[in-house]
Amino acid sequence: MGVAKWIGGILGFMAGGPLGMLAGIALGYLFEQGLDDNTGNTDNWQDDQARNGYGSGQSNQYSNRYSQQQTQQGNRNSFLFSILVLSSYIIRADGKVMHSEMEHLRAFIRNNFGYNAVDQADQIMRRLFDQQKKMESQRAGSYEDIVIQSCRQIASNMQYEQRLQLIAFLADIARADGIVTNQEVNALRTVARAMGLSEKEVDSMLNLSDGATNLDAAYKVLEISPDATDDEVRKAYRKLALKHHPDRVATLGEDVRKAAEKKLQEINAARDLIFKSRGL
């Protein structure tokens, strides 16, 4: 991911508000380093159209397509930056930065956004951690306040299904070291509430990896209790499968859609375990 592409994302819904403030702090070094060749400059693009002899009608057609691509890229970058901001809060929720959690974050960035984004993401995370320490030294809870405000900004600008995918990834971060502390659970629930999601949705994502083999976890994945009727089980599964369908996050890129596809497979595995236990 080129430097200008990060900036392009910030010029979307994160241009102002708490996320814009954090972006200014975390991305300041990008401006110091200068833009790379991947600027995506619209003037250069328009010059290319003129050189290639496109007429005004064709130019407008390509302009609209370019504008749509830029919007999608901005949404994707906004999603990525939101992941980094919220990860900085979740990772330090228990007072320490675990290597396994950072490695999980790096793997996600590498797999979903490319090798070039990993280095920059590391630098951004360091900036966010430094800002967190600075704010907390001045007033306890101040960084959590800015994260909550950021979550509300996300809720106002990001689709529900995309917010669910954010929570799913943050739950993976919390599970990365094999232990999910009470502080991490509380932090996840704080983020979820501020983004307009429920605690049940957090518990569902935290239990995904165990849902195929642990019956209690499987019920939590489906967001129901073990005493639910068979009809309620079926209804809960259909509702869950619909809201977690990979196509609902496809605009964020094929790699994010594949991550959602894996999540749906885990939901299906939890359903199968419950169905088997009930003889359905």
Confidence of residue 12 (pLDDT cuts 50, 70, 90): low
> Is the pLDDT reported for residue 166 higher than 70?
yes
Give the pTM. Answer: 0.79
> Is the pLDDT reported for residue 168 higher than 60?
yes
Q: What is the pLDDT of residues 98-150, one digit of tens each?
A: 888 899 889 888 877 778 778 888 888 888 999 999 999 999 989 999 999 99
Q: What is the pLDDT of residues 16-37, one digit of tens each?
A: 788 888 888 877 655 555 444 3
Three-class secondary structure assignment of the chain: CCHHHHHHHHCCCCCCHHHHHHHHHHCHHHHHHCCCCCCCCHHHHHHHHHHCCCCHHHHHHHHHHHHHHHHHHHHHHHHHHHHHHHHHHHHCCCCCCCHHHHHHHHHHHHHHHCHHHHHHHHHHHHHHHHHHHHHHHHCCCHHHHHHHHHHHHHHHHCCHHHHHHHHHHHHHHHHCCCCCCHHHHHHHHHHHHHCCCCHHHHHHHHCHHHCCCCHHHHHHHCCCCCCCCHHHHHHHHHHHHHHCCHHHHHHHCHHHHHHHHHHHHHHHHHHHHHHHHHCC
> Is the pLDDT reported for residue 60 higher than 60?
no
Confidence of residue 54 (pLDDT cuts 50, 70, 90): very low
| Per-chain mean pLDDT for the chain | 81
> Is the pLDDT reported for residue 222 higher than 60?
yes
Among 6-15, 38-47, 67-76, 221-230, the least confident range: 38-47
